[in-house]
Structure 1
Amino acid sequence: MPRTYGHTPSSSAPVTTTVINIQTETPVRDHIVWSLFNTIFLNWCCLGFMAFAYSVKSRDRKMVGDVIGAQTYASTAKCLNICALVLGLLLTIVFITLFVTGALMIPQMVRQHGGY
């Protein structure tokens, strides 16, 4: 006579199942390194600092689990970083061009020679 251990499949006990939902983490780039670079080197009109603030807000939202909020703040930080970079490069190139061509020396030369 065979011996059976445990429950037999014909038992009347209800079968319970456990479902575990594993959410894949969506990567949200917060652009914090780029914002820090713009804050330190290209902070024209405080755009770099504002981008850094939005990057920190994006990172905070990501830590809380608010992916949509993190993406919104990250998008704003990215736009501010692009504006800061373009404006910073343009103003730097204009300043260097004016300095090399001597246009910044004209008011000083006028003062030295007595002006009009």
Structure 2
Amino acid sequence: MTPKTFLTTSAIGLLMATSAAAQTDVEVLTEDEIAEANEAADQMYLQVYGENAPAYVTVNEAIERMEAMGYTNIHDLDVEWGVYEVEAYAPDGNEVEIEFDPVTGAILEVTDNWF
């Protein structure tokens, strides 16, 4: 093994270990936080649409859909501006921020999370 190969292999191993360690440090959402987010979504849609609020995906269903797509350690959930915003780890191991449309059930945007 050449020194260059050794260094490259070591760097890849270190990055993978760092990514795995970072994922385990994240606090996933608690049942209380999910319940609060569902209540916030109910209030948001009632304020925006009144009694004609459209059917929408609950926070629990949104999390299940994202997990089915391979996202893990879903955390830091916000309900605002008509969307759910969460931070999570993408299937490739990168931490991302996801904007999820609860009316259509679609992921609107996935961006790298550098924070």
Same fold at TM > 0.5: no
Between structure 1 and structure 2, the one with the greater Rg is 1
Q: Which TM-score bucket, shorter chain as reference?
A: 0.3 to 0.5
TM-score (norm 1): 0.32
Please identify which structure carries the higher strand content: 2
TM-score (norm 2): 0.32
